[in-house]
Protein backbone atom coordinates (compact mmCIF):
# COMPACT_ATOMS: atom_id res chain seq x y z
CA UNK A 1 0.00 0.00 0.00
CA UNK A 2 2.74 2.45 1.03
CA UNK A 3 4.72 1.59 -2.07
CA UNK A 4 1.65 2.44 -4.21
CA UNK A 5 1.28 5.79 -2.44
CA UNK A 6 4.95 6.43 -2.99
CA UNK A 7 4.61 5.72 -6.68
CA UNK A 8 1.67 8.13 -6.96
CA UNK A 9 3.65 10.95 -5.32
CA UNK A 10 6.65 10.20 -7.50
CA UNK A 11 4.60 10.90 -10.63
CA UNK A 12 4.66 14.32 -12.19
CA UNK A 13 1.48 16.39 -12.52
CA UNK A 14 1.46 15.74 -16.28
CA UNK A 15 1.70 11.97 -15.75
CA UNK A 16 -1.13 12.08 -13.18
CA UNK A 17 -3.33 14.02 -15.58
CA UNK A 18 -2.57 11.57 -18.42
CA UNK A 19 -3.41 8.58 -16.20
CA UNK A 20 -6.60 10.27 -15.04
CA UNK A 21 -7.50 10.92 -18.69
CA UNK A 22 -7.02 7.23 -19.53
CA UNK A 23 -9.19 6.27 -16.55
CA UNK A 24 -11.92 8.69 -17.62
CA UNK A 25 -11.89 7.47 -21.25
CA UNK A 26 -12.05 3.79 -20.31
CA UNK A 27 -14.79 4.40 -17.72
CA UNK A 28 -16.73 6.40 -20.28
CA UNK A 29 -16.36 3.58 -22.83
CA UNK A 30 -17.63 1.01 -20.35
CA UNK A 31 -20.66 3.15 -19.53
CA UNK A 32 -21.31 3.79 -23.23
CA UNK A 33 -21.00 0.06 -23.93
CA UNK A 34 -23.47 -0.72 -21.15
CA UNK A 35 -26.02 1.81 -22.36
CA UNK A 36 -25.61 0.68 -26.01
CA UNK A 37 -26.20 -2.91 -24.91
CA UNK A 38 -29.23 -1.90 -22.82
CA UNK A 39 -30.86 0.13 -25.59
CA UNK A 40 -30.10 -2.46 -28.28
CA UNK A 41 -31.81 -5.12 -26.13
CA UNK A 42 -34.73 -2.77 -25.54
CA UNK A 43 -34.99 -2.03 -29.28
CA UNK A 44 -34.80 -5.74 -30.20
CA UNK A 45 -37.52 -6.60 -27.72
CA UNK A 46 -39.66 -3.81 -29.15
CA UNK A 47 -39.02 -5.12 -32.68
CA UNK A 48 -39.98 -8.65 -31.60
CA UNK A 49 -43.18 -7.35 -30.03
CA UNK A 50 -44.25 -5.89 -33.37
CA UNK A 51 -44.93 -9.45 -34.58
CA UNK A 52 -46.58 -10.65 -31.37
CA UNK A 53 -50.29 -10.23 -30.85
CA UNK A 54 -52.52 -10.97 -27.85
CA UNK A 55 -54.88 -13.35 -29.63
CA UNK A 56 -56.92 -14.12 -26.53
CA UNK A 57 -57.69 -10.44 -25.99
CA UNK A 58 -58.20 -9.54 -29.67
CA UNK A 59 -59.76 -12.73 -31.13
CA UNK A 60 -63.17 -11.21 -31.83
CA UNK A 61 -61.77 -8.06 -33.46
CA UNK A 62 -59.26 -10.01 -35.54
CA UNK A 63 -61.94 -12.41 -36.82
CA UNK A 64 -64.06 -9.42 -37.89
CA UNK A 65 -61.04 -7.77 -39.52
CA UNK A 66 -60.09 -10.93 -41.44
CA UNK A 67 -63.66 -11.49 -42.63
CA UNK A 68 -63.87 -7.87 -43.80
CA UNK A 69 -60.64 -8.25 -45.78
CA UNK A 70 -61.93 -11.49 -47.35
CA UNK A 71 -65.04 -9.96 -48.96
CA UNK A 72 -63.39 -8.46 -52.08
CA UNK A 73 -60.18 -6.93 -53.42
CA UNK A 74 -59.40 -3.56 -51.81
CA UNK A 75 -56.90 -0.86 -52.74
CA UNK A 76 -53.91 -0.23 -50.45
CA UNK A 77 -55.56 2.88 -48.98
CA UNK A 78 -58.78 0.98 -48.33
CA UNK A 79 -56.85 -1.79 -46.56
CA UNK A 80 -55.20 0.81 -44.30
CA UNK A 81 -58.64 2.24 -43.42
CA UNK A 82 -59.96 -1.24 -42.62
CA UNK A 83 -56.98 -1.93 -40.36
CA UNK A 84 -57.70 1.31 -38.46
CA UNK A 85 -61.38 0.35 -38.18
CA UNK A 86 -60.47 -2.69 -36.05
CA UNK A 87 -57.82 -1.45 -33.56
CA UNK A 88 -56.16 -3.48 -30.82
CA UNK A 89 -57.87 -3.66 -27.45
CA UNK A 90 -54.67 -2.48 -25.82
CA UNK A 91 -54.38 0.43 -28.27
CA UNK A 92 -52.74 0.86 -31.67
CA UNK A 93 -53.32 -0.70 -35.07
CA UNK A 94 -52.56 -4.25 -36.18
CA UNK A 95 -49.76 -4.61 -38.72
CA UNK A 96 -50.24 -6.83 -41.76
CA UNK A 97 -47.71 -9.27 -40.31
CA UNK A 98 -49.73 -9.56 -37.11
CA UNK A 99 -53.00 -10.07 -39.00
CA UNK A 100 -51.43 -12.74 -41.18
CA UNK A 101 -49.97 -14.53 -38.15
CA UNK A 102 -53.32 -14.36 -36.36
CA UNK A 103 -55.10 -15.72 -39.46
CA UNK A 104 -52.78 -18.75 -39.63
CA UNK A 105 -53.26 -19.44 -35.91
CA UNK A 106 -57.06 -19.13 -36.08
CA UNK A 107 -57.23 -21.43 -39.11
CA UNK A 108 -54.92 -23.96 -37.45
CA UNK A 109 -57.02 -23.95 -34.25
CA UNK A 110 -60.24 -24.19 -36.31
CA UNK A 111 -61.53 -20.92 -34.83
CA UNK A 112 -62.01 -19.46 -38.32
CA UNK A 113 -63.12 -20.78 -41.69
CA UNK A 114 -62.85 -19.12 -45.11
CA UNK A 115 -63.81 -20.65 -48.42
CA UNK A 116 -61.36 -20.67 -51.31
CA UNK A 117 -62.57 -17.37 -52.80
CA UNK A 118 -62.52 -15.59 -49.43
CA UNK A 119 -59.04 -16.88 -48.70
CA UNK A 120 -57.76 -15.58 -52.07
CA UNK A 121 -59.22 -12.12 -51.41
CA UNK A 122 -57.77 -12.01 -47.89
CA UNK A 123 -54.26 -13.04 -48.95
CA UNK A 124 -54.36 -10.58 -51.85
CA UNK A 125 -55.32 -7.71 -49.53
CA UNK A 126 -52.88 -8.56 -46.73
CA UNK A 127 -49.91 -9.32 -49.01
CA UNK A 128 -46.79 -7.17 -48.55
CA UNK A 129 -44.32 -6.20 -51.30
CA UNK A 130 -46.76 -7.30 -53.99
CA UNK A 131 -44.43 -6.41 -56.86
CA UNK A 132 -42.33 -9.51 -56.16
CA UNK A 133 -44.99 -11.90 -57.45
CA UNK A 134 -47.06 -9.71 -59.78
CA UNK A 135 -46.11 -11.92 -62.73
CA UNK A 136 -47.51 -14.97 -60.95
CA UNK A 137 -44.03 -16.48 -60.61
CA UNK A 138 -41.97 -16.24 -57.40
CA UNK A 139 -38.25 -15.53 -58.03
CA UNK A 140 -35.98 -17.24 -55.51
CA UNK A 141 -32.31 -16.24 -55.77
CA UNK A 142 -29.64 -18.54 -54.31
CA UNK A 143 -25.85 -18.14 -54.35
CA UNK A 144 -23.18 -20.73 -54.97
CA UNK A 145 -20.23 -20.91 -52.60
CA UNK A 146 -17.04 -18.86 -53.19
CA UNK A 147 -14.97 -20.54 -55.88
CA UNK A 148 -11.96 -19.65 -58.08
CA UNK A 149 -13.01 -17.67 -61.14
CA UNK A 150 -11.41 -18.08 -64.59
CA UNK A 151 -11.94 -14.40 -65.39
CA UNK A 152 -9.50 -11.50 -64.85
CA UNK A 153 -12.01 -8.64 -65.10
CA UNK A 154 -10.64 -5.49 -63.48
CA UNK A 155 -14.06 -4.24 -62.36
CA UNK A 156 -14.98 -7.31 -60.27
CA UNK A 157 -14.83 -6.92 -56.48
CA UNK A 158 -12.72 -9.48 -54.62
CA UNK A 159 -14.73 -10.17 -51.47
CA UNK A 160 -13.39 -13.57 -50.37
CA UNK A 161 -16.54 -14.19 -48.32
CA UNK A 162 -18.55 -14.23 -51.54
CA UNK A 163 -18.59 -15.79 -55.01
CA UNK A 164 -16.60 -13.63 -57.44
CA UNK A 165 -18.26 -10.30 -58.36
CA UNK A 166 -20.58 -10.21 -55.33
CA UNK A 167 -20.33 -8.15 -52.14
CA UNK A 168 -21.23 -9.45 -48.68
CA UNK A 169 -23.30 -6.30 -48.01
CA UNK A 170 -25.89 -7.10 -50.71
CA UNK A 171 -29.27 -8.41 -49.41
CA UNK A 172 -29.24 -11.66 -51.41
CA UNK A 173 -25.59 -12.25 -50.55
CA UNK A 174 -26.30 -11.67 -46.85
CA UNK A 175 -29.07 -14.28 -46.96
CA UNK A 176 -26.69 -16.75 -48.62
CA UNK A 177 -23.97 -16.03 -46.05
CA UNK A 178 -26.38 -16.51 -43.13
CA UNK A 179 -27.32 -19.91 -44.61
CA UNK A 180 -23.63 -20.82 -45.18
CA UNK A 181 -24.31 -21.08 -48.95
CA UNK A 182 -26.35 -24.25 -48.41
CA UNK A 183 -28.76 -24.40 -51.41
CA UNK A 184 -31.40 -26.27 -49.42
CA UNK A 185 -31.49 -23.74 -46.57
CA UNK A 186 -31.35 -20.75 -48.91
CA UNK A 187 -34.31 -22.01 -50.96
CA UNK A 188 -36.44 -23.22 -48.07
CA UNK A 189 -35.92 -20.16 -45.86
CA UNK A 190 -36.67 -17.80 -48.74
CA UNK A 191 -39.95 -19.60 -49.44
CA UNK A 192 -40.86 -19.35 -45.76
CA UNK A 193 -40.08 -15.61 -45.73
CA UNK A 194 -42.20 -14.94 -48.82
CA UNK A 195 -45.11 -17.04 -47.57
CA UNK A 196 -45.00 -15.24 -44.23
CA UNK A 197 -45.73 -11.92 -45.94
CA UNK A 198 -48.71 -13.30 -47.85
CA UNK A 199 -47.26 -14.52 -51.15
CA UNK A 200 -48.46 -17.69 -52.84
CA UNK A 201 -45.32 -19.74 -53.39
CA UNK A 202 -46.46 -22.39 -55.84
CA UNK A 203 -44.76 -21.33 -59.09
CA UNK A 204 -41.05 -20.79 -58.48
CA UNK A 205 -38.19 -19.56 -60.63
CA UNK A 206 -34.87 -20.62 -59.10
CA UNK A 207 -32.17 -18.08 -59.98
CA UNK A 208 -28.68 -19.41 -59.29
CA UNK A 209 -26.23 -16.56 -58.84
CA UNK A 210 -22.56 -16.56 -57.91
CA UNK A 211 -19.39 -16.99 -59.87
CA UNK A 212 -19.17 -18.43 -63.38
CA UNK A 213 -21.48 -21.45 -63.14
CA UNK A 214 -19.57 -23.45 -65.75
CA UNK A 215 -16.33 -23.21 -63.73
CA UNK A 216 -17.78 -25.20 -60.81
CA UNK A 217 -17.26 -29.00 -60.80
CA UNK A 218 -20.13 -30.85 -62.48
CA UNK A 219 -20.69 -32.93 -59.35
CA UNK A 220 -21.24 -29.69 -57.39
CA UNK A 221 -23.61 -28.35 -60.07
CA UNK A 222 -25.77 -31.50 -59.91
CA UNK A 223 -25.77 -31.48 -56.11
CA UNK A 224 -26.60 -27.76 -55.87
CA UNK A 225 -29.63 -27.99 -58.18
CA UNK A 226 -30.82 -31.23 -56.55
CA UNK A 227 -30.75 -29.60 -53.10
CA UNK A 228 -32.77 -26.64 -54.40
CA UNK A 229 -35.37 -29.10 -55.70
CA UNK A 230 -35.29 -31.03 -52.41
CA UNK A 231 -36.23 -27.81 -50.60
CA UNK A 232 -39.10 -27.19 -53.04
CA UNK A 233 -40.32 -30.76 -52.62
CA UNK A 234 -40.17 -30.59 -48.81
CA UNK A 235 -41.85 -27.19 -48.55
CA UNK A 236 -45.34 -27.01 -47.02
CA UNK A 237 -44.86 -30.40 -45.36
CA UNK A 238 -44.50 -31.21 -41.68
CA UNK A 239 -41.74 -28.90 -40.44
CA UNK A 240 -40.27 -31.72 -38.31
CA UNK A 241 -38.73 -33.28 -41.44
CA UNK A 242 -36.73 -30.13 -42.13
CA UNK A 243 -33.31 -30.11 -40.54
CA UNK A 244 -30.06 -28.29 -41.15
CA UNK A 245 -28.24 -30.39 -43.71
CA UNK A 246 -24.76 -28.93 -43.53
CA UNK A 247 -22.71 -26.64 -41.36
CA UNK A 248 -20.14 -24.69 -43.33
CA UNK A 249 -17.11 -23.05 -41.79
CA UNK A 250 -17.31 -19.49 -40.62
CA UNK A 251 -16.92 -16.78 -43.32
CA UNK A 252 -13.40 -16.23 -44.57
CA UNK A 253 -11.31 -13.54 -42.96
CA UNK A 254 -9.98 -10.78 -45.18
CA UNK A 255 -6.63 -11.89 -46.66
CA UNK A 256 -3.70 -9.52 -46.35
CA UNK A 257 -2.79 -8.31 -49.81
CA UNK A 258 0.94 -8.54 -49.24
CA UNK A 259 0.70 -12.29 -48.58
CA UNK A 260 -0.52 -13.17 -52.08
CA UNK A 261 0.09 -12.00 -55.65
CA UNK A 262 -2.30 -9.13 -56.29
CA UNK A 263 -3.93 -10.60 -59.42
CA UNK A 264 -4.52 -13.97 -57.74
CA UNK A 265 -5.54 -12.94 -54.23
CA UNK A 266 -9.18 -14.00 -54.54
CA UNK A 267 -8.61 -17.37 -56.24
CA UNK A 268 -5.77 -18.40 -53.96
CA UNK A 269 -7.62 -17.33 -50.83
CA UNK A 270 -10.76 -19.24 -51.80
CA UNK A 271 -8.76 -22.31 -52.82
CA UNK A 272 -6.86 -22.33 -49.56
CA UNK A 273 -9.81 -21.71 -47.24
CA UNK A 274 -12.64 -23.61 -48.93
CA UNK A 275 -11.42 -26.15 -51.44
CA UNK A 276 -8.98 -27.71 -48.99
CA UNK A 277 -11.92 -28.93 -46.89
CA UNK A 278 -12.36 -32.47 -48.25
CA UNK A 279 -15.27 -33.23 -45.90
CA UNK A 280 -17.52 -30.63 -47.51
CA UNK A 281 -16.40 -31.57 -51.01
CA UNK A 282 -17.40 -35.18 -50.37
CA UNK A 283 -20.83 -34.06 -49.12
CA UNK A 284 -21.43 -31.80 -52.12
CA UNK A 285 -22.06 -34.60 -54.57
CA UNK A 286 -25.11 -36.13 -56.24
CA UNK A 287 -25.81 -38.23 -59.33
CA UNK A 288 -27.81 -37.28 -62.39
CA UNK A 289 -30.24 -40.08 -61.51
CA UNK A 290 -30.89 -38.46 -58.11
CA UNK A 291 -31.41 -35.10 -59.82
CA UNK A 292 -33.88 -36.57 -62.31
CA UNK A 293 -35.84 -38.15 -59.43
CA UNK A 294 -35.99 -34.75 -57.68
CA UNK A 295 -37.24 -33.20 -60.95
CA UNK A 296 -39.94 -35.88 -61.27
CA UNK A 297 -41.03 -35.49 -57.66
CA UNK A 298 -41.34 -31.73 -58.12
CA UNK A 299 -43.98 -32.17 -60.84
CA UNK A 300 -46.58 -32.84 -58.13
CA UNK A 301 -45.06 -30.78 -55.28
CA UNK A 302 -46.75 -27.76 -53.69
CA UNK A 303 -43.89 -25.45 -54.73
CA UNK A 304 -43.08 -26.27 -58.34
CA UNK A 305 -40.11 -25.00 -60.30
CA UNK A 306 -41.20 -23.39 -63.57
CA UNK A 307 -37.83 -21.85 -64.39
CA UNK A 308 -34.18 -22.54 -63.60
CA UNK A 309 -31.65 -19.77 -64.25
CA UNK A 310 -27.84 -19.82 -64.18
CA UNK A 311 -25.25 -17.17 -65.09
CA UNK A 312 -22.06 -17.74 -67.03
CA UNK A 313 -19.51 -16.19 -69.38
CA UNK A 314 -19.97 -16.10 -73.17
CA UNK A 315 -16.55 -17.68 -73.79
CA UNK A 316 -17.57 -20.93 -72.04
CA UNK A 317 -20.77 -21.40 -74.04
CA UNK A 318 -20.31 -24.16 -76.62
CA UNK A 319 -22.29 -27.12 -77.95
CA UNK A 320 -21.22 -29.47 -75.14
CA UNK A 321 -22.01 -26.88 -72.47
CA UNK A 322 -25.54 -26.09 -73.68
CA UNK A 323 -26.35 -29.83 -73.88
CA UNK A 324 -25.12 -30.16 -70.29
CA UNK A 325 -27.26 -27.20 -69.18
CA UNK A 326 -30.30 -28.83 -70.80
CA UNK A 327 -29.51 -32.05 -68.91
CA UNK A 328 -29.52 -30.13 -65.62
CA UNK A 329 -32.92 -28.63 -66.45
CA UNK A 330 -31.77 -25.04 -67.04
CA UNK A 331 -34.32 -22.89 -68.88
CA UNK A 332 -32.68 -19.44 -68.86
CA UNK A 333 -29.05 -18.35 -69.15
CA UNK A 334 -27.67 -15.01 -67.97
CA UNK A 335 -24.59 -13.92 -69.91
CA UNK A 336 -22.23 -11.08 -69.10
CA UNK A 337 -21.69 -9.30 -72.42
CA UNK A 338 -20.64 -6.17 -70.45
CA UNK A 339 -19.71 -4.10 -73.53
CA UNK A 340 -20.24 -4.03 -77.30
CA UNK A 341 -16.78 -2.52 -77.85
CA UNK A 342 -13.86 -4.90 -78.31
CA UNK A 343 -11.48 -2.14 -77.22
CA UNK A 344 -13.32 -1.69 -73.92
CA UNK A 345 -13.47 -5.46 -73.40
CA UNK A 346 -9.71 -5.74 -73.86
CA UNK A 347 -8.97 -2.81 -71.54
CA UNK A 348 -11.11 -4.44 -68.85
CA UNK A 349 -9.45 -7.86 -69.36
CA UNK A 350 -12.65 -9.69 -70.21
CA UNK A 351 -10.67 -12.22 -72.29
CA UNK A 352 -13.34 -12.46 -74.98
CA UNK A 353 -14.59 -10.35 -77.88
CA UNK A 354 -18.03 -9.13 -78.90
CA UNK A 355 -18.11 -11.85 -81.56
CA UNK A 356 -17.85 -14.45 -78.78
CA UNK A 357 -20.99 -13.07 -77.16
CA UNK A 358 -22.84 -13.09 -80.51
CA UNK A 359 -21.92 -16.74 -81.09
CA UNK A 360 -23.02 -17.68 -77.56
CA UNK A 361 -26.39 -15.92 -77.97
CA UNK A 362 -27.02 -17.59 -81.35
CA UNK A 363 -26.22 -21.03 -79.95
CA UNK A 364 -28.41 -20.58 -76.87
CA UNK A 365 -31.24 -19.25 -79.00
CA UNK A 366 -31.08 -22.27 -81.30
CA UNK A 367 -31.21 -24.57 -78.27
CA UNK A 368 -34.38 -22.91 -76.99
CA UNK A 369 -32.99 -21.12 -73.93
CA UNK A 370 -34.35 -17.85 -72.62
CA UNK A 371 -31.49 -15.34 -72.59
CA UNK A 372 -30.71 -12.55 -70.14
CA UNK A 373 -27.82 -10.30 -71.21
CA UNK A 374 -25.80 -8.18 -68.78
CA UNK A 375 -24.28 -4.90 -69.97
CA UNK A 376 -22.21 -2.43 -67.94
CA UNK A 377 -22.06 1.27 -68.65
CA UNK A 378 -19.15 3.65 -68.06
CA UNK A 379 -16.51 0.93 -67.91
CA UNK A 380 -12.81 1.76 -68.03
CA UNK A 381 -12.08 3.02 -71.55
CA UNK A 382 -15.66 4.08 -72.18
CA UNK A 383 -17.91 6.99 -71.17
CA UNK A 384 -21.63 7.85 -71.19
CA UNK A 385 -21.40 9.33 -74.72
CA UNK A 386 -19.82 6.15 -76.16
CA UNK A 387 -22.33 3.98 -74.33
CA UNK A 388 -25.35 5.64 -75.94
Taking the whole predicted model, whether its pTM rises above 0.85 is answered as no
CB 158 within 8 A of CB 266: yes
| pLDDT score for 125 | 86
Measure the CA–CA gap between 268 and 275, rounded to whole angstroms.
10
Measure the CA–CA gap between 154 and 262, rounded to whole angstroms.
12
DSSP string, 227-257: HHHHHHHHTTS-GGG------PPPPPPPPPG
- What's the mean per-residue pLDDT of the chain? 79
| pLDDT score for 275 | 54
Measure the CA–CA gap between 70 and 74, rounded to whole angstroms.
9
| pLDDT score for 271 | 54
Please name which of 306, 369, 361 lies closest in space to residue 335, comparing C-alpha atoms. 361
Provide the angle, in degrees to the nearest 10, between the axes of the packed helices 55-69 and 96-108.
100
Would the pLDDT of 45 be above 50? Answer: no
| pLDDT score for 167 | 86
Write the DSSP symbol of residue 324.
Answer: H
Sequence-distant (≥ 6) Cβ neighbours of residue 118 within 8 angstroms: 67, 70, 71
State the DSSP H helix or E strand holding residue 372, giving kind and residue range, or none if neither.
strand 370-375
**For the ranges 55-59, 135-139, 268-272, 360-364, the one whose mean pLDDT is highest:** 360-364
Q: Is 24 helix (H, G, I), strand (E, B) or coil?
A: helix
Sequence-distant (≥ 6) Cβ neighbours of residue 343 within 8 angstroms: 381
pLDDT digits (tens, 9 = 90+) for 142-180: 999 988 888 889 998 888 888 888 888 888 888 888 888
| pLDDT score for 65 | 92
| pLDDT score for 161 | 82
Amino acid sequence: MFSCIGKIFSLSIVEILINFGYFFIHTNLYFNGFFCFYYSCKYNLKAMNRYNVNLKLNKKGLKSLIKHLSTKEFSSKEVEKILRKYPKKEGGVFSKSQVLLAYKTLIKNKDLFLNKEQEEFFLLNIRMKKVRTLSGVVPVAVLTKPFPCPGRCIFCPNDVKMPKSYLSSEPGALRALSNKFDPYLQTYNRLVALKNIGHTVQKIEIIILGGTWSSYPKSYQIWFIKRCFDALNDFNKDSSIIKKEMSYEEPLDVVKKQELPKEKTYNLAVSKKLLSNKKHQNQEKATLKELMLAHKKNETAYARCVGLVIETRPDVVNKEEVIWLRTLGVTKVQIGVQSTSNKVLKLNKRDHLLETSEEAVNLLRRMGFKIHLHWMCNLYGSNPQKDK
